[in-house]
Amino acid sequence: MKFNFSKWHGLGNDFVIVNGLEESIENYEEMAIKVCDRHFGIGADGLVILLKSEIADFKMRIFNSDGSEAEMCGNVTRCMARYVFEHGLTDKKKITLETKAGIIKPELIFTNGILDTVKVDMGEPRLKRSEIPMVGNADEQVINEILRVGDIEYNITCVSMGNPHCIIFVDDLTLVDLSVIGPKIETDPIFPKKTNVEFVQVLNKQKLRMRVWERGAGVTMACGTGTCATLVAAVLNGKADRQATIELDGGTLFIEWGLDNHIYMSGPAVEVFRGKYL
């Protein structure tokens, strides 16, 4: 199966974008596994398909490197906004994207005629157990709750940004073996649809350091929805202001929890190369 693609990344969280308005792929799940393989494929954290939408400017479907479909991804939202603009598919600087988590609204920000950043209205955080989802009382919030994994207890705060996140604050992020503990928490029975896992070190109330184990992808260099969920969790635990810079392995994102209860994420989106998959 042959198709044209474009490789993008947001702070090292990388994606293969395919224009489904022009290209045809029979099985997205199987193709995601193939193209995301970093030895035998293109190499990426996910495969993203651009499609026609009846309710927004465009629709996108996001498939993780293991073939599972994600509801949302903040980093790829920024990449897709720049993709449709720079590939001549729209002349809008404010775009609506249909996702499995609802309609997301990215905006291209220009300074002196040069694209400076992409700001995304990520919508409202969802805090009830039923919305994340988690086992337990449907209407309860999970703030600084104890989760026991093996012989270790973790204080977790859980937030959904259209996809589930489990945030854990630590004093020293360098002591966390993310590749070991990440998958254990991701697949804990308390999360019926699994979860993304963020370990966070608070540097000050305006700056946090975060590392992420992404559901279906493993350790990645950045996670847009994860940074949004991290700020929410930090505010709920009294550890951060409502605006903060989140430092990730791949760079930094600026996150704001607005008075309208919406989360706004600002950061880069970079096209790496274009090619044809053979």
> Identical fold at 3-122+267-277 and 129-261?
yes
Sign of CA dihedral 103, 71, 197, 141: positive
Strand partners, 52: none
CATH, domain range 129-261: 3.10.310.10
The CATH architecture that domain 3-122+267-277 belongs to is Roll (3.10)
254-271: pLDDT as tens digits: 999 999 999 999 999 999
158 assigned to active site: no
108-155: pLDDT as tens digits: 999 999 999 999 999 999 999 999 999 999 999 999 999 999 999 999
pLDDT for the residue 266: 97
As a whole-number percent, the residues of the chain with pLDDT over 70 amount to 100
- Triad 140, 164, 264: Cα angle to 5°: 100
223 assigned to active site: yes
pLDDT for the residue 79: 97
pLDDT for the residue 78: 97
Q: Is the pLDDT of residue 277 over 90?
A: yes
Confidence of residue 218 (pLDDT cuts 50, 70, 90): very high
Residues 63-75 have a mean pLDDT of: 96
pLDDT for the residue 13: 96
Catalytic position from the list 73, 79, 158, 228: 73
pLDDT for the residue 60: 98
pLDDT for the residue 231: 98
Tell me, yes or no, if the pTM score tops 0.85. Answer: yes
pLDDT for the residue 1: 86
164-204: pLDDT as tens digits: 999 999 999 999 999 999 999 999 999 999 999 999 999 99
Residues 8-36 have a mean pLDDT of: 97
Give the residue extent of every domain in the chain.
3-122+267-277, 129-261
- Triad 102, 241, 246: Cα angle to 5°: 65
pLDDT for the residue 256: 98
pLDDT for the residue 190: 97
Catalytic position from the list 36, 166, 223, 228: 223
* Distance in angstroms (rounded) separating the CA atoms of residues 106 and 262: 13
* Distance in angstroms (rounded) separating the CA atoms of residues 14 and 62: 12
pLDDT for the residue 227: 98
